[in-house]
Amino acid sequence: MVTFFVGGNWKMNGDKKSLGDLITTLNTASLHDETEVVCGAPTVYLDFARSNLDARIGVAAQNCYKVAKGAFTGEISPAMIKDCGVEWVILGHSERRHVFGESDELIGQKVAHALESDLGVIACIGEKLEEREAGTTEDVVYAQTQAIADNVKDWSKVVLAYEPVWAIGTGKTASPEQAQEVHEKLREWIRANVSEAVADSVRIIYGGSVTGANCKELGSQNDVDGFLVGGASLKPEFVDIINARA
C-alpha cells in the first residue's frame, strides 16, 4: 500500500493573519497518521509556513526555476526553497501552463533541476474542457507525462497530480469514475513506458474541486492515491479531506 498523499495548494491567497489561523487549525487537528500532508504556500510565506506548521506537515513551493541562481528577476530556485527548510515544489500546475504559458519542455527542465536539488516534486498534468470534449484527454495527459518522465531518474521523489483543467475552481468535479478511469490509464502508461515497479509505487493524486463532501468517494477509487486541493485547503474542511481515508 502506498501512503495516501494530500496536498493543499494555497495559490495566491492569504496573509499572515489568515494563514496563521489556518496553520493553528492544522496543528491542533487530529490528522490521519497514515496520510502524508503537504501545504503549498505562496513564495513570500514559505519561511512563515515552515516555521509555524507542525513538523508532521510538509511545505511546498508553488513553482521554481530550472537553474540554481542567476539573472532571472522574480524567479526562485530549488536551492532557495531548501534554504527555507521546505522540501517540496509544485510544478506544471495548469495555471502555470495556461495563464503563464509554460511549455511541457520548460516544465520538464524544472522537474529535472528540482529533483537534482533533492526536492520532492508534485508534477501536475490535465486536459482542458475542449480537449476532453474532442476525445483527446489521453493524448494530452500522456504527452504531458512523457515530458515529465523524460526528466525523472528517481520516481520515489515524485507525486503525479491529475487535474482536469475544467474542474479546477469551477465547482465541477470529475466523477469518481472519470477520475479512476484516467488514473488507471496513466498507471498503465507508466507501466508500459517507465516500469512495472514505478507504476506500482508512484502516487497519482486527483485535483479539481475536491471538497469535504466528495473526498471520501473520490479517495475510495483504486488508483486515486490522494488529492491536490485548491480552495478547500484554505478552509477548516481541509482537515476532513486529509482524513478521507481515516
Residues tagged active-site: 93, 163
Output the DSSP codes for 164-219: -GGGSSSS----HHHHHHHHHHHHHHHHHHT-HHHHHH-EEEEESS--TTTHHHHH
Residue 111 neighbours by CB distance under 10 Å? 26
Distance CA 20, CA 7 (A): 18
Grid look-up 503563464 returns 100
What stretches of the chain adopt beta strand conformation (E)? Answer: 4-9, 35-40, 57-61, 88-91, 120-125, 158-162, 203-207, 226-229
Coil, helix or strand for 101?
Answer: coil
Distance CA 168, CA 95 (A): 10
Distance CA 180, CA 77 (A): 34
Supply 140's cell numbers.
494530452
| 61 strand-pairing partners | 89
